Amino acid sequence: MSAVGDVVKTGTSTVGITFDGGVVVGADHRATMGHFIANKSVQKLFRISNNVALTTAGLVGHAQSLSRTLAAELRLYELKRNQSMTVRGAATLTANILVGRPHYVQLLIVGVDEDGPSVYSIDSAGGAIPDSYCATGSGSPFMYGVLEDQFKHGMNEKEALKVAAKALLASAQRDAASGNGMDLAVITQEKGFQLLSEEEVDKLLSNI
């Protein structure tokens, strides 16, 4: 992900994976400015509501602004209607924002609602595409090698976490603009958004 200024571009790996009962979402920590590693602890995974998360690849300023806007809009929706926005609704809202005011970002909107788990890939022009799993950023070609090989429908949470971690590790090893650790979170209908602690991520990686 880009770190400073308008000319700083992203080098990023983010992933969303559906499993039986929820979604796993993850992102690396590295921000680059050309070939320079500008920051090693950038947040690219955002909790937007208790049932929806956002991952960002692109200019840091655009990503942070968009995450704040979406969190506020989903909270207002909950207050007005006394219910959570669906994942599809959040993806449509995000796409509409990008159509009206383009951002230099590539996004994932992931979450769980009454219709089950969902992953939406959203491009900078506002195109929204649902899928069972998706990867974004410069590390995505390496991540898709893992995802195509190891994703299967009906996985449980533990299996999905392992696949997501493997995909992020693959991008960190082969994409110079990705790495410096990862954030991982799980979203389920019962427990909502749960970000893994650093210790939980380390334990997961030690078993891969």
Q: Which residues are known catalytic residues? A: 12
Whole-angstrom Cα distance, residue 69 to residue 161? 28
- Would you list the DSSP string of 63-96? HHHHHHHHHHHHHHHHHHHSSPPPHHHHHHHHHH
Question: Which string of b and e fits 106-128 if b means at least 16 CB within 10 Å?
Answer: bbbbbbbbeeebbbbbbeeebeb
Place of tokens 């050309």: 34
d(CA 106, CA 85): 21
Residue 72: CB atoms within 10 A of its CB come to 11
